[in-house]
Structure 1
Amino acid sequence: MTEPTTLAAGAVELHLRARRDAGRGLLMPYLTGGVTPGWTDHLRAFAAAGADAIEIGLPFSDPTLDGVTIQQSSEVALARGASTRRILAGLSGLPDLGVPLVASTYYNLVLHDGPEAFCAALRRAGVDGLIVADLPVHEADELAEVAAGAGVELVLLASPVTPQDRLAEIAARSRGFVYAVSLMGTTGERAALAASAAELTGRIRQVTDRPVLLGFGISTPDQAREARRHADGVVVGAAVMRRVRDGAGPDDLRAYLTTLRQALDQECDPPP
């Protein structure tokens, strides 16, 4: 299919494309903003471990797509007084980590301040991309336009049950990358990569050359290596947050993510 050409690729997509085209498997770890007093130190550890982008969750009181681990992390962050404004203030004080930052949240938080103010605040804080988990493509027009105007790339999600015509629309309208949800369910660690992951990423690749990152249920080096055979890279959230909740510090997280980085770097059959 022919993709729209009205919007040029932004910082997230250019960065991920360049690394993918150089043969690198992409790694995007997730952290709930404000979950610990020194939460921004974890982001530095992510970059040091070889992350290609970093996802920062803006905690919401009703995270319907998140499993228990990230739900609890959001509750902890909110109990500590975390808010979108405070999290973005923390990001504003960071030195350049050398990789794009992608905020993720739910549409209620976007509506709270209004799309214009919300996206402008993201950009001032150095955030390059935005994932809104409960925003379907057919309702994304306003936010997509506002985000693009602010220089923020709106990433859309695709699931195993997304019809092919809708999948083509998602792939064409997503910016930065396409977030492939590996299974029907919530986030969380699982024993094996879902069988639906390969079929979904294959269908996405029929309609776009945009980078595809696979998320939901990826937590081990073996799972990352398997995901790399189908997608350009992985999103790792619950496994990181479980370690944070268990008291892991930046060095611990760096060591864990390094094992995933090494798995992604190992030779495997690249995505077709």
Structure 2
Amino acid sequence: MRTRLHDRLERTRQEGRAALIGYLPAGFPTVADSVSVIEAMVAGGCDVVEVGLPYSDPTMDGPTIQRAAGVALEAGTTPTDVLRVAEATAETGAAALVMSYWNPVDHYGVARFATDLAATGASGMITPDLLPEEAGAWIEASDAAGLDRVFLVAPSSTDVRLKTTTNACRGFVYAASLMGVTGTRAQVAGTAQQLVSRTRAAREPGADPLPVCVGLGISTGDQAAEVAGYADGVIVGAGFCQRVLDAVDMASARSAVRAFAEELAQGVRRTD
């Protein structure tokens, strides 16, 4: 089984660079506007886009993404809207993923959500609060629908946890660079590179290599270049959301988002 995510990550590997992965909540600030912002992200150089499913209890998200998701929730964004945005994202040519806490998916119906997500052309889903040991229903449904599934590892993950998680993932492994919530930071956590090395080493002997992508705290082209030196993908979310929050209108938001994506895209291609 190959998804567009597999193809995109393989292409960036062949180009000798890390993939640029952007995140935006669906429905932020409206469903239509979130599509236009994602189009700007892709035009600026995002290879993969994570479409967030806004949730009322975002335990891993910092204040910026919480604000963005809150705007989307106040606008009445539903899981069906999220699927519409995922479909529009796939239509840009980028690899599309949904990122969602588990409760909304469980409420929607796991098998139904997998079937509906696959129908959008998206590649799969990231589930930040779901452990592989508790993901039996999602593993079964994602297998049946041909979807990738991405679980998270963190600096605190034991070697056993890293092995369990990497072997349950398909598409890539999401390496959270630090213990904490999402948000921009002055520098990337020093634990990130070690976590990438440990995660790669945890893969079962003889198994195909699985990309490891790093998120949490990346907010500049220089930081993107730093992470791209040891990871297969660079994940940025709060920086995109902040530019929309700061913009005076949607035209300004799209312009700022595209310029930021271009800065990050140059970073992941830097060879110095």
- Using the size of structure 2 for normalisation, the TM-score is 0.91
Pairing 1:33–2:26 present:
yes
Q: Distance in 2 between matches of 1:220 and 1:50?
A: 14
Q: Distance in 1 between matches of 2:193 and 2:117?
A: 33
Counterpart of 1:5 in structure 2 is none
Of the candidates 124, 138, 141, which is equivalent to residue 143 of structure 1? 138
Verify the 8 A CA contact 1:13 1:175 in the aligned structure 2. Answer: no
Deviation at 1:9, TM superposition (A): 4.3
SS at match of 1:249: helix
- AA aligned opposite 1:172: N
Deviation at 1:51, TM superposition (A): 1.1
Pairing 1:198–2:202 present:
no
Counterpart of 1:24 in structure 2 is 17
Verify the 8 A CA contact 1:30 1:56 in the aligned structure 2. Answer: yes
Q: Distance in 2 between matches of 1:93 and 1:234?
A: 22
Q: Deviations over 1:105-151 (max 9, x none)?
A: 11101111210111112122222110111001211222012012112
**252-261 or 163-172: bigger deviation:** 163-172
How much identity, in percent, do the aligned residues show?
37
- AA aligned opposite 1:223: Q
Of the candidates 86, 100, 104, which is equivalent to residue 105 of structure 1? 100
Verify the 8 A CA contact 2:38 2:89 in the aligned structure 1. Answer: no
Q: Deviations over 1:72-119 (max 9, x none)?
A: 111110001111112323444567211210100111011112101111
Counterpart of 2:264 in structure 1 is 260
Change (3 A) 1:93 1:157: closer
SS at match of 1:65: coil
**255-264 or 202-211: bigger deviation:** 202-211
Counterpart of 1:165 in structure 2 is 160
Verify the 8 A CA contact 2:17 2:228 in the aligned structure 1. Answer: no
Of the candidates 39, 51, 59, which is equivalent to residue 56 of structure 1? 51
Pairing 1:80–2:75 present:
yes
Deviation at 1:243, TM superposition (A): 0.9
SS at match of 1:218: coil
SS at match of 2:151: strand
Verify the 8 A CA contact 1:35 1:76 in the aligned structure 2. Answer: yes
Verify the 8 A CA contact 1:13 1:211 in the aligned structure 2. Answer: no
Change (3 A) 1:216 1:93: closer
Counterpart of 1:46 in structure 2 is 41
Change (3 A) 1:158 1:25: same
Change (3 A) 1:90 1:27: closer
5+ long unaligned stretches in structure 1: 1-7
Q: Distance in 2 between matches of 1:206 and 1:12?
A: 22
Deviation at 1:168, TM superposition (A): 1.5
Of the candidates 180, 185, 191, which is equivalent to residue 185 of structure 1? 180
- AA aligned opposite 1:254: R
Counterpart of 1:213 in structure 2 is 213
RMSD: 1.5
- AA aligned opposite 2:219: S
Q: Kindly tell me the number of residue pairs found equivalent between the two proteins.
A: 261
Q: Distance in 2 between matches of 1:205 and 1:84?
A: 33
Verify the 8 A CA contact 1:17 1:211 in the aligned structure 2. Answer: no
Counterpart of 1:249 in structure 2 is 253
Counterpart of 2:206 in structure 1 is none
- Using the size of structure 1 for normalisation, the TM-score is 0.91
5+ long unaligned stretches in structure 2: 204-208
